[in-house]
Amino acid sequence: MTPKMTSSTLGRRGFLTVAGASLALAGAGRFALTTAQAGTGFSLGILHINDMHSRVDQISRFNSNCSPSDAEDNNCFGGSARLATAIREYRAAHEADGRAVLTLDAGDQSQGTLYYTTYGGRAEVQMMNAIGFDAMGIGNHEFNRGAESLARMIEEAEFPFVAGNIQLTDDSPLAGRIAPHLVLERGGEQIGILGVTTPDTVFLSSPGDTVSFQNEIEHLREGVAELQERGVTKILVLSHVGFGRDQQIAAEVDGLSAIIGGHSHTLMSNTQDGAIEYAGLIESPSGRAVPIVQAFAFSRYLGNLTLEFSEDGAVISAIGDTVLLDARFAPAEDIEALIEPLRAPIEEMTRRPVAELAADIDGSRENCRAGECEMGNTVTDAMLAEVAHQGIRVALTNGGGLRASMGAGTATLGDVLTVLPFQNTLYTLEVTGATLIAALEHGVNDVEEGAGRFPQVSGLRFKLDLSVAPNSGRVSDVEVMGADGWEPVDPDAIYGLVTNNFMAGGGDGYGMLREGGMNGYDTAIDLAEVLARFLSDNEPFAPVIDGRILQ
């Protein structure tokens, strides 16, 4: 079933209003009223985040740690302390209007910085406790360290975790710890909350043998029926399956009031260029409008949604937008006081040995931005090894993202972070051979100026002729490694590619990856973590130059 989606009939003005609960599409993306329904007078404010990915500290415009200079210039965003200030301000505004409020997280607090590496999700939960979250969905990355680690994370929480399509064996460490659904009372009304986690968690993370996943739509139909039998009609979904799947859910599951989403890092905004309008509306099987919202990722935005309901739980009005958490929101001092003692072990961790290096690894600017270099080969080999089980054949990263060499002997985590300081994450997608060739051609077209876009690769090789003018065929003889050896790239074939989130989003001019990429997925795993694991798994490590870029 193809979902019918409508954008706000009032355009990008920060809100949308639906006149009734039983609606039909009338063309041009607009809803036409077919059955008017009176409101109950009950209004609910929902403050929501998703995919924070361990951004306890404030972030830069690149979603990595904010530098001291950016902090001095008030160019930082998000972080737990700033998020706390924003939530408290918007919560107070809702309450001043006499409105009940829920504060919700759609999952993936885990993975992304050394806070998760050090504390396994407990630091993030400590921040959520202090801020006062009412419930959290479970993201795939909550399973990155297995079911036992997630169980410890849940033990620390002063709020419930909900994900009813997660099925557990009796001996699972998570047995009895994850709610199949919630019923929260606000303003004298019962609010049902269902939760779903992507079944792709089986191969995106490490849930283990005691965890399996029911089809989301199948579970939600059962969950809605159970809640309605209890007289609960206002039903929200905390969803960690992605915006596309959320649209299918809204179109196929009747009885949902709204979906608070995550997983796809979708930017929804009525003010940001290129964003999807907040909220998205999908027509349910019975014709009601189901709002879907999401708030990007990394604590950069807070979603602020106000819903009004009819007697049967249908939303008759949805008002709101995402809020950019910039310098307008001063970090909360009490949250900063909680964070400060957590930083010392992280600083100590950077001195932890990672691996023994049998030789130097050259990551010099002059080499990695001009041709095949040892650090480029090492990093892309590490990227490819991380996703080898997914059948991905090619790795691509930008030479400008490699910031240092490493010396022979004992390498520390701090050394790795010096090489890869940007907290770029591993990103998988599919591209045609033509897109892959275009990316390589773009990458080499400004070698003379030492541009950071220069491509470092694994699972692929090509010839580079700098006597040819830029964008005129400098790249030739592009081959990928197949089951039986090297084979020419087929422009029409589809190839699995692993790169970094910066390039996948069009960074360094790689717009062809953003526009031509298919089935993209941000793993949220820091490239530094990937490199550290690869060096450790292959110590004593020695780099190679093996003819990937022939000049």
Q: Is residue 371 part of a domain?
A: yes
Beta bridge partners of 195: 238
Q: Exposed, middle or buried by CB within 10 Å (0-12, 13-18, 19+), for 318?
A: buried
Is residue 396 located within the same domain as residue 304? no
Task: Give me the residue label for tokens 């591209």.
Answer: 431
In a domain? residue 37: no
Q: pLDDT value at position 474?
A: 96
Instruction: Looking at 263-412, list the stretches that DSSP marks H as alpha helix, in order from N- to C-terminal side.
Output: 333-349, 365-368, 374-386
Give Cβ neighbours of residue 349 (< 8 Å, ≥ 6 apart).
Answer: 114, 117, 118, 413
Per-residue model confidence (pLDDT) at position 39: 59
- Work out how many domains the chain is built from and give that number: 2
Same domain for 328 and 406, yes or no, is no
Q: What are phi and psi of 259, to 5 degrees?
A: -120, 125
Residue 30 lies in a domain: no
Do 426 and 539 lie in a common domain? yes
Question: Does 540 sit behind a cis peptide bond, omega within 30 degrees of 0 on the bond before it?
Answer: yes
Give the span between the Cα atoms of 273 and 249, in whole angstroms.
Answer: 27
Residue type for position 300:
R
Per-residue CA distances from 284 to 22, 50, 458 (Å):
9, 24, 46
SS3 526: strand
Helix (H), strand (E) at residue 249: helix 243-252
Q: Examine the domain organization and report whether 236 and 93 are in the same domain.
A: yes
Task: Output the CA–CA distances (angstroms, integers) from residue 9 to 22, 30, 279, in the order listed.
Answer: 16, 6, 11
Q: Could you tell me if 309 and 39 are in contact, meaning their C-beta atoms sit under 8 angstroms apart?
A: yes
Domain match, 546 and 429 both: yes
CA-CA distance, 423 to 502, in Å (whole number)?
10
CATH number, position 386: 3.90.780.10
Q: Is residue 31 part of a domain?
A: no
Using only C-alpha atoms, what is the Rg of the chain?
A: 24
- The per-residue pLDDT for 351 is 87
Residue 139 in domain: yes
Does 34 map to a domain?
Answer: no
* Contact assessment for residue 243 and residue 222, using Cβ atoms and an 8 Å cutoff: no
Do 332 and 372 sit in the same domain of this protein? no
Whether the Cβ atoms of residue 500 and residue 392 lie closer than 8 Å to each other? no
> Given this model, what pLDDT does residue 252 score?
97
Residues 199 and 258 in one domain: yes
pLDDT at position 274? 87
71 is in which domain, residue-wise? 5-24+43-59+67-313+321-344
Q: Residues of the chain whose pLDDT is less than 50?
A: 1-2, 4-36
CATH of the domain at 245: 3.60.21.10
Long-range Cβ pairs for the range 463-469 (8 Å, 24+): 463/550, 463/551, 464/371, 464/549, 464/550, 464/551, 465/551, 466/551
Confidence (pTM): 0.79
Give the length of the chain. Answer: 551
In terms of domains, do 303 and 225 share one?
yes
In the three-class reduction of DSSP (H, G, I as helix; E, B as strand; rest coil), residue 119 is classed as: helix
Do 47 and 163 share a structural domain? yes
Where are the alpha helices (H) located in 424-525, listed in sequence order? 433-443, 501-504, 511-516
φ and ψ at 103, to 5 degrees? -115, 115
CA distances from 308 to 19, 312, 447 (A): 11, 12, 57
Identify the bridge partners of residue 398 per DSSP, sorted by sequence position. 455
Tell me, yes or no, whether 459 and 508 share the same domain: yes
φ and ψ at 287, to 5 degrees? 95, 0
> What's residue 33's pLDDT?
24
Q: Report d(CA 57, CA 75) in Å as an integer.
A: 13
pLDDT of residue 188: 93
Q: Are residues 330 and 361 in the same domain?
A: no
* Claim to verify: residue 339 and residue 361 sit in the same structural domain: no
**What is the spatial distance between Cα 21 and Cα 42, in angstroms, rounded to a whole number?**
15
Residue 29 lies in a domain: no
Asked if the structure places residue 363 within a domain, the reply is yes
